[in-house]
Chain A
Amino acid sequence: MSEAAVHAHQAPTSFIRKHVFSLDHKVIGIQYYGLALVAVVTGMVLSWIMRIHLVWPNSPIPGVQWLSKIGAPGGVVTPEYYLSLMTMHGTLMVFFVLTNAPFAAFGNYFLPIQIGAEDMAFPRFNMMSFWTTFVAFCILVSAFFVGDGPPLSGWTAYAPLSAVGADSGPGEGVGQTLWGLSIFVFCIASLLGSLNFIATTLDLRTKGMTLARMPICTWAWFITSCISLLAFAVLMPACLLLVLDRVAGTSFFIPSGLNVSDHLQPHQGGSPLLWQHLFWFFGHPEVYIAILPAMGIVSHILIVNMRKPLLSHKVVVYCMMAIGFLSYMVWGHHMFLSGMNPFSAMVFSFPTLMITIPATIMTLIWLGSLYGSKLRINAASLFCLGFISMFVSGGVSGFFLAQPSIDIYLHATYFVVGHFHMVMGVAAIFGVFAGTYFWFPKMTGRMMNETLGRLHFWFTFIGTYCIFMPFHYLGLAGNVRRYSAFTDDFLVPLVPVHKFITYAALFTGAVQMIFIFNLIYSRFKGAKAEANPWECTSLEWSTPSSPPPFDNFGGQHPVVYHDPYQYGVKGSKGDYVMQTSPEKVAQAT
């Protein structure tokens, strides 16, 4: 284990250095959070437009005509523009929300503090990482305003639709190229960020902070950064090859003899399946990049509120490692219907089922730890319980999709959409909400309003179940995904279900305004927080102030004596023992 971190950079004095181009990991964490907030609101608005269009396809939606006169003339969304909205919704949410908020935002803010470091290992890279992400965001959003609008190939950008160019539809000209460039730039940012997380965790832990004494959320960020490093390193060349196909006339992904919009494409010999392999080799680890930090955050917060450790801290960490490792072996389960050799489906189905084992173990550990505990109920712990509920509900549908025979029927239906929205779109976001309510006092020195927090939870919990549970029914009924309207005979009877979902979606979206209001109001007018309002043992709660000072510990270097889950320990003076307390306890590790 290395020495304590040496102060890497001086406290900034200018406004630009303090709040804009800051080297301070805390400021960068908040910047990532803010970017994720902008992205999630944008993505949510897009989803509202999509939901309203699905149910009332011929009705004008006020305001949309300003977004695109061609895509939504008179406010009526065209089928192509619906797909463009879907593409941007998915891209924004997966990349700029689910990769940013639980991992980059909270990880940047709290990982260095939780290990007792003064900052990340490479503060300049950290700053570059955020601003590169911001540039990627700007490039992506600019697709709305150029040419004939944003791409329509989905966040998965399957070739040859995404590779051919403008012939394949509106938005497939400049829009798709901008998408490819945006994701390429995002990959660079993610790689820089992951590098920072790994080096910081391995080398900047303070005295006494062994790997075994790191909080579970720190482990989650570390494991996520390892996954992220290798995953984004594959997506980057994939995007490069895609952009080359589009602008340079190469044929990596475009097959011969393709006739698109009455134009014979000049490309030859490419493999659309190659794109799917490259994309999903990244894409599956990506979904674990989205969920693992939330698992870590939820585990951490649950322990604090249960006032007792989990049944086994080590097993949870090993399970997260197992999930990270196995995530690289399952990508083909997205491709069961791609035309690959059907026997390869068995090769991918087996590890897909295996990956449910560590996930199930973790769930059982959460549930087993909760059993018999006197859980403190607050907004943060409620969102943790909601996370477990959503993770189980959404994860169980994954068992079905993991079977190739069932997936033949369910692939590309709303069943899949329900599955991934519940695990990623809801469970991971619940982890972000839990983290926000939990760490808000540390980041701002004020408490969020508890009443509004509980209202936010209950309405969101009920609302998201109302939205996404029916998706499974729709999928089983054969409702194909990525359709802009349901006019087929077998789909028309499902429209009332869609109406219910749309109302639920609009309601749940409106409820998020409670959270935004609470966030902003509490930032300025919230009740002043004590130093350690949750009586948590980990190092971020031993900083001299909230928010922590520039170098986190006010010139001191904390020394760690205990693991982070000394709650209810026999022989201890109080209910808990801080990691930095030199008090000797019988079960200290």
Chain B
Amino acid sequence: MATTLQPPQTDLEQESRPHDGNGSGGGFRGLLPSRGDLRAVADPRGEPTRTGIWVALSAIAMTFAALTSALYVREGAATDWHHIQLPNILWFNTSALIASSIALELARHRVSGYMRGLELSRSKAALWLNATLLLGGVFVVGQYLAWLKLRSQGLYLPTNPNSSFFYVLTGVHAVHVLGGLGGLIRVMFKFHSTRHPLRRSTMDATSYFWHFMGALWMYLLFILWLKL
């Protein structure tokens, strides 16, 4: 669907923007495919979203910093620190998560190409988005299987502090990954929608979150391997 682009407004003193249903369509705000080069189009809501995601990631980092310090202090105070063998499936899960980040970057490229009118079909972008979602799902399922493996060894949440931290750290991370999956589903919905088109900032923010989850998992895996 073609959209008439208007040049970005520079005189902002006396202006009344058109109201729209959900704050995402109208004028140049929705990055709908067209023959024009949308890279020049302003995305007025873009910056808060990008700022917001970095702020959110700072808070999440702080949460895991707190859990890490809890782990160190608890280990220091413990006479019951029993090292556990990390389930091997964790390495497979890690690969899946890394692969999902790669798939997401490829998806971003494709989405950008489609939005800029360089590609006519959404299918390749959708394929990579689906791949990201699938690999993310594989990761979450794999984490659950890791939990089952620990349970089969008699290591439950309260068994010892090592198992407690394992379940807590992986569990809290998995909850955030589920949130990331929700964000990806939202991106896919918007990508296919004409009423609520996908904004670049939404795509970027979701990507940053997802990649952060990957980097965070690498850090957690290292800590788990080192300490537990």
Contacts and interface: CB of A to CB of B under 8 A. Distances in A.
Most buried by B among A122, A199, A256, A277: A199
Given A233-B59, A233-B60, A559-B12, A200 B23 contact: no
B172 A237 contact: yes
B73 A271 contact: yes
Given A233-B62, A252-B74, A271-B73, A6 B51 contact: no
Contacts of B87: none
A555 B19 CA distance: 10
Contacts of A277: 69, 73
A229 B23 contact: no
A47 to B, nearest CB: 32
A230 B62 contact: yes
B48 A234 contact: no
A250 interface: yes
Contacts of A121: 48, 51-52
B29 A237 contact: no
Interface stretch (B30-38, B96-104, B157-165): B157-165
Interface in B37-68: 42, 44-45, 47-49, 51-52, 55-56, 58-60, 62-63, 65-67
Interface in A275-305: 277-278, 281
Contacts of A229: 55, 58-59, 62
A74 B14 CA distance: 68
Interface stretch (A97-105, A240-248, A385-393): A240-248
B28 to A, nearest CB: 11
Interface stretch (B77-85, B122-130, B142-150): B77-85
Given A230-B59, A249-B157, A269 B47 contact: no
Given A8-B23, A252-B164, A274 B70 contact: yes
A249 B158 contact: yes
Interface string A203-223: 110110000000000000000
Contact of A7 (B19, B52, B56, B59): B19
Given A198-B55, A230-B59, A233-B60, A273 B73 contact: yes
A269 B48 contact: no
B168 interface: yes
B157 A230 contact: no
B78 A269 contact: yes
A427 interface: no
Contacts of A244: 157, 164, 168
Contacts of B63: 233-234, 236-237
A3 B45 contact: no
Contacts of B59: 191, 194-195, 229-230, 232-233
Contacts of A269: 74, 77-81, 161
A2 B78 contact: no
B74 A557 contact: no
A351 interface: no
B152 interface: no
A314 interface: no
A250 to B, nearest CB: 5
B70 A241 contact: yes
A252 B158 CA distance: 10
Given A237-B172, A268-B80, A6 B55 contact: no
Contact of A9 (B23, B47, B77): B23
Interface residues of A, number: 53
B16 interface: yes
A114 B57 CA distance: 27
Contacts, number: 145
Nearest to B26: A6
Contacts of A207: 12-13
Nearest to B164: A250
B21 interface: yes
B213 to A, nearest CB: 16
A249 B17 CA distance: 57
A6 B17 contact: yes
A281 B66 contact: yes
A273 B70 CA distance: 10
A39 to B, nearest CB: 24
A557 B161 contact: no
Nearest to B72: A274
A6 B12 CA distance: 11
A270 interface: yes
Contacts of B51: 121, 198-199, 202-203
Most buried by A among B14, B42, B65, B70: B70
Contacts of B66: 233-234, 237-238, 278, 281
B48 A237 contact: no
Nearest to A125: B52
A204 B45 CA distance: 9
A252 B29 contact: no
Contact of B13 (A204, A232, A236, A557): A557
A207 B14 CA distance: 12
B52 A195 contact: yes
A583 B65 CA distance: 51
A6 B21 contact: no
Nearest to A277: B73
Contacts of A233: 58-60, 62-63, 66
A259 interface: no
B21 A7 contact: no
B23 A556 contact: no
A248 B55 contact: no
A4 interface: yes
A10 interface: yes
A133 interface: no
Contacts of B20: 10
Contacts of A273: 73, 77
B172 to A, nearest CB: 7
A251 interface: yes
Contacts of A5: 44
B16 A199 contact: no
Contacts of B45: 6, 8
Contacts of B172: 237, 240
Contacts of A10: 19-21
Given A230-B62, A274-B73, A204 B157 contact: no
B44 to A, nearest CB: 4
Interface string B194-214: 000000000000000000000
Given A191-B56, A234-B63, A251-B161, 11 more contacts: A3-B44, A6-B44, A122-B52, A199-B51, A207-B13, A229-B55, A237-B172, A244-B164, A248-B158, A269-B77, A269-B78
12 contacts: A2-B44, A198-B51, A199-B48, A202-B51, A203-B51, A229-B59, A230-B62, A233-B60, A238-B70, A241-B168, A249-B158, A556-B15
Name the 7 nearest CB pairs between A and B, nearest first.
Answer: A249-B158, A121-B48, A233-B62, A271-B77, A269-B80, A234-B66, A203-B47
